[in-house]
Structure 1
Amino acid sequence: MDTELTHNLAKLLSGGGWMFHILAFIFAFLGSIAGGYFGAYGNKRGELRAIQDDFEKVKSQLQETTRLTTAIQTEITKGVWVEQQRWELRRDLYTALLKNLSEAKYTLSQVIKAETREFKGSDEERDNFTNDMLERNRIASQEIENLIHHTGVLFLSSEALETINTFLNAEKLRIKQLEDSGADYAEISAEATSWSLHLDNEIRAAYIAYDEIVNVAKADLQING
């Protein structure tokens, strides 16, 4: 404001007339507007700052929640993966055991048929067939024993292990039964009924072991039917 304008304004104000009241009213009005504006502006800035602070808090909480959720999901996924691997390992064990027990049942049944003269062919052909079946049974039994020693001991119940061992030890059971009857080892080897008794014991043990593994597998793998 220049000197002349200031002088005239002061003169008007000092005159105390109606012009003074108008100017006073104008200045008061402008002052109230300015005060209201700046007051509202200040309040609005305070509200915005409060909102910003709340937003930052919510953002921080959301980030922490996301982090925890991700960590939980990772642990759950890891646990599911581990359990799935265990399930597949048990499934493969049961499948392999049943496959080899089925082989044992089949080969022993074929040997029994050949020994009871149901085989159609010469004695030499029958002997070759019997030896082939017994070799297949030996391989299946060895595979079962390997499965038990490597994996079965980790997952199978004591009852299931005992049942399978009964099959694997069928020859020992045959000898024990003959020993209990009072025969000595030489008599066992020469006993006419010892071979057929061995076959009967072993195939019976194979069927029992097979049924036991089926029941254990269904319960463990939660297979219905």
Structure 2
Amino acid sequence: MNESELLAVLNRFLDSNVKLSVLTYVGAAIISIVVGAISAYVTAYLKKSAEVKVLSDRIDTTNQQLALQTDVVKRVEAEISNQTWIEQQRWLFRKDLYLSIIELLIKAREQSLALDEIIGAIPGFYFDEESELDEDEQVENWENLVSLSIQECHDFVEENITPVANDIALLINKQGRLFLNRNSLDILADFYNSNETWYEKELMEEGFDANNAHPYGLPNGPCEVGYLSHYSKAAKEAYKMIIKEAKNDLKIDMSLVNSKNVI
């Protein structure tokens, strides 16, 4: 019973000429106050309960959104971590590949330097006036010695340098074409094909164009000694260039390697 209902009851008593005591009015007032307080409390409780429910729903929604965001973040972090791992593995693979190539080029350079010593031992001609042989016979003997020395050089190339070049070519065909950049492949291709291109390069270095210059305007054609001597030059050049390219490709700071503070 609310206040208005209580007043209506009292009014009916008054209209019916029923006399009510003071205690009745006091009790009615107390009942009215209690009922009002309870009504206010219930109303506040229901309002607060509604607010709490709305807040709870918002919290649940926020938690769901946070869970979704956390899941997205974790997936992105996993993808980044996975991509970083893949790049690290690629870097390590390229590094090992470069080291294998450099090791082969060092071997080719060492063998080429040994070839240079054999070439340097090819005898030059001199006429021995005290010999019983005439000049033509001495020239013939000298040419035979030179021919044997040249053949020894060619045999050395086939046994010691060509296998190294073939190992490099095999490594490139199996792995290098997938993981090395174009500059590195060109450097190694120039080294492998240097036995066919060395003379044209020498002409270019001397300022000649073999395609446009008149034959009589060119220096002497390629010789056996020049052909054999090019191996050490090609190996040194390929080694120097592949070191530089590997440093750039792998982003290695050589200043740290060359620092005096390195332990």
**In which range does the TM-score fall when normalised by the shorter chain?**
0.7 to 0.9
Superposition RMSD in Å: 3.2
The aligned counterpart of 2:230 is 201
Given the alignment of the two structures, is residue 64 of structure 1 paired with residue 93 of structure 2, yes or no? no
1:18 pairs with 2:42 = no
Identity level (%): 24
Gaps in structure 2 of 5+ consecutive residues: 1-9, 123-150, 202-209, 216-220, 255-263
SS of alignment partner, residue 16 of structure 1: coil
**Structure 1 unaligned spans of 5+:** 1-9, 119-126, 183-187
Residue of structure 1 in register with 2:162 after alignment: 138
The reply on whether 1:222 has 2:251 as its aligned counterpart is yes
Match of 2:108 among 87, 104, 119: 104
CA gap of 1:69–1:159, structure 2 versus 1, over 3 A, is closer
Structure 1 length normalisation: TM-score? 0.73
**Counterpart code for 1:206:** A
Secondary structure of the residue that 1:223 maps to in structure 2? coil
Aligned equivalents of 2:200, 2:57: Cα separation in 1:
86
CA shift at 1:111, angstroms?
2.3
Q: Which residue of 2 aligns with 1:31?
A: 35
Q: Distance in 2 between matches of 1:29 and 1:171?
A: 115
- Identify if the C-alpha distance between structure 1 residues 164 and 40 changes in structure 2 by more than 3 Å, giving closer, same or farther: same
Q: 1 CA distance for matches of 2:250 and 2:26? A: 97
Q: Which residue of 1 aligns with 2:50?
A: 46
Tell me the distance in 2 between the aligned counterparts of 1:176 and 1:42.
98
| Residues 1:87 and 2:77 are matched in the alignment | no
| Contact preservation (8 Å) 2:247, 2:253 | yes
User: Are the counterparts in 2 of residues 160 and 216 from structure 1 also a CA contact under 8 Å?
Assistant: yes
**What amino acid is aligned across from residue 169 of structure 2 in structure 1?**
E
1:163 paired residue number = 187
Any residues of structure 2 matched to 1:178-193 within 5 Å, and which? none
1:15-39 superposed Cα distances (whole Å, 9 cap, x missing partner): 4121111111111121122112211
**Counterpart amino acid of residue 40 in structure 2:** G
> Which amino acid is 2:120 matched to?
T
Structure-1 residue corresponding to 2:241: 212
How far apart are the structure 1 equivalents of 2:109 and 2:165? Answer: 11
